Amino acid sequence: MEKTTTYDYPTRIFHWLFALLFFVAFAIAKLLDDDSPLFSYHMMAGLSLLFVLVLRIIWGIIGTTYARFNSFKLNPKELILYGKQLLIGKTKRYLSHNPASSYAALLMFALTIGLGITGVNMALGYESEFFEEAHEIMANLFLLTVVAHVVGIIYHHFSHKDSLWSSMLDGKKRSISGESGITSNRPFIAIIFLILSFSWMGYIYSNYDQTTQTLALFGNQLQLGENEDGEHEGASYLEQRRHEDDDDD
For the chain, the structural domain boundaries read 3-248
Mean pLDDT of the region 39-48: 94
Instruction: Tell me what pLDDT residue 207 has.
Output: 93
Is residue 183 over pLDDT 80?
Answer: yes
pLDDT band at 205 (very low <50, low <70, confident <90, very high): very high
Of the listed ranges 51-55, 121-125, 231-235, the one predicted with least confidence: 231-235
Instruction: Tell me what pLDDT residue 246 has.
Output: 54
pLDDT band at 177 (very low <50, low <70, confident <90, very high): confident
Exposure b/e, 183-196, CB count within 10 A at least 16 = b: eebbeebbeebeee
Where is pLDDT greater, at 173 or 61?
Answer: 61
Instruction: Tell me what pLDDT residue 162 has.
Output: 66
pLDDT band at 8 (very low <50, low <70, confident <90, very high): very high
Mean pLDDT of the region 42-70: 96
Contacts of 194 (CB under 8 A, 6+ apart): 13
pLDDT band at 111 (very low <50, low <70, confident <90, very high): very high
Instruction: Tell me what pLDDT residue 237 has.
Output: 41
User: For residue 122, what are the CA distances in angstroms to 206, 228, 235?
Assistant: 21, 18, 9
> Could you give the percent of the chain with pLDDT greater than 70?
88
pTM: 0.86
Which DSSP string corresponds to 3-62? EEE-S-HHHHHHHHHHHHHHHHHHHHHHHS-TTSGGGHHHHHHHHHHHHHHHHHHHHHHH
Is residue 228 over pLDDT 80?
Answer: no
DSSP class of residue 91 equals P
CATH 1.10.260 for the 3-248 domain, yes or no: no
Mean pLDDT of the region 162-166: 72
pLDDT band at 239 (very low <50, low <70, confident <90, very high): very low
Contact between 112 and 53 (Cβ < 8 Å): yes
Instruction: Tell me what pLDDT residue 240 has.
Output: 47
Where is pLDDT greater, at 87 or 56?
Answer: 56
